[in-house]
Structure 1
Amino acid sequence: MKIHNQIRKEVIDFLTEHLQEIYYFHNGLPKIIDTDNELPLVAVYLNDASGEPVTIGHSEWTADLIILTYLPFYQGEEKLDEINEKINDAILFKDFKNFSLTADFNQSYDYEYDTENNVWVSSALTFRIQYKFQQLNKSNLGDE
């Protein structure tokens, strides 16, 4: 759905301004191929999206906005925490065009480790968001 791409792009554009130490941003879940050249990286994706109809042709949706931060393994949790503190503080005080936060705090914060190769360490900062989605019926699309 186009709205999901718009939400991810809006967050990435905003974070690009606030995280000068991050060189790579990814719209959706990343496939990291070259850790030497692709880290540090921040990826933005949505999960667990669901909608409820509010009026004919319109629905209100909620989803988890997940911001992943990947760093080289040697930088560890301390650096992840520092970066995610910046992300959290920035996100909580921003009015976004395409969505709003459902609470004035993040919903969860998790770590993940590359236990096979010890190449990267990551964290996932999760916010619950809400947004509107307009559905067009076929008669509005000009299919006659």
Structure 2
Amino acid sequence: MLIHNKIRQEVINFLSGEIEEVTYFHNGLPKILNLDDELPMIAVYLNGAEGQPVTIGNIEWEADLVILTYLPFHQGEAVLDELNEKINQAILFHDFDNFSLTADFNQSYDYEYDTENNAWVSSALTYRVRYQFQTLNHKENANV
């Protein structure tokens, strides 16, 4: 869905102006090819998108907005926590054009480690977001 790309790109554009410590941003799940060139990195993706009926004939979409932060392994969790605190404060107090945080935005925060090569450490900051109010086409059902 094109709206997903718009949401990811809007978050990337916003964070690239807020998080000076990171210069590499990725739209979607990344495949890290060159650690020296690509880290530190922030990647943005959506997961678990679902349409929810809000009124008769209308749906609104919700999804998990995931902001991944990758750092070289030696920088560790303390630096991740500092970056993610900045990201969290920026996201929570910004009005986006293509989505909004849900009232119960189900925020979560997880770590992941490259346990094979000890090359990177990452964190995933997740928010539940709402977007794109749609009116369903009932033309086919009207002729039944």
TM over 0.5: yes
Q: Report SS of the residue matched to 2:117.
A: coil
Matches within 5 A, 1:50-69: 50-54=50-54, 58-69=58-69
Aligned to 1:73: 73
Residue 8 of structure 2 corresponds to residue 19 of structure 1: no
Shift of 1:37: 1.2
Q: Once the two structures are superposed, what CA deviation does each residue of 1:97-134 show, in whole Å capped at 9, x if it has no partner?
A: 01000137661000000000000000000000001244
Structure 2 CA distance for partners of 1:50 and 1:135, relative to 1, 3 Å: same
Cα separation, 2, equivalents of 1:25 and 1:104: 27
Q: Once the two structures are superposed, what CA deviation does each residue of 1:15-46 show, in whole Å capped at 9, x if it has no partner?
A: 00001110100000000011111100000000
Root mean square deviation of aligned Cα: 1.9
Cα separation, 2, equivalents of 1:104 and 1:135: 24
Structure 2 CA distance for partners of 1:22 and 1:128, relative to 1, 3 Å: same
Shift of 1:55: 5.7
Cα separation, 2, equivalents of 1:25 and 1:65: 15
Aligned to 1:41: 41
Stretches of structure 1 lacking an aligned partner (at least 5 in a row): 140-144
Cα separation, 2, equivalents of 1:105 and 1:59: 18
Cα separation, 1, equivalents of 2:55 and 2:46: 24
Structure 2 CA distance for partners of 1:97 and 1:6, relative to 1, 3 Å: same
Stretches of structure 2 lacking an aligned partner (at least 5 in a row): 140-144
Residue 32 of structure 2 corresponds to residue 32 of structure 1: yes
Q: In percent, how many aligned pairs have the same letter? A: 72
Higher deviation after alignment, 103-112 or 83-92 = 103-112
Residue 102 of structure 2 corresponds to residue 129 of structure 1: no
Higher deviation after alignment, 39-48 or 50-59 = 50-59
Aligned to 1:93: 93
Higher deviation after alignment, 45-54 or 116-125 = 45-54
Aligned to 1:142: none
Aligned to 2:4: 4
Structure 2 CA distance for partners of 1:75 and 1:66, relative to 1, 3 Å: same
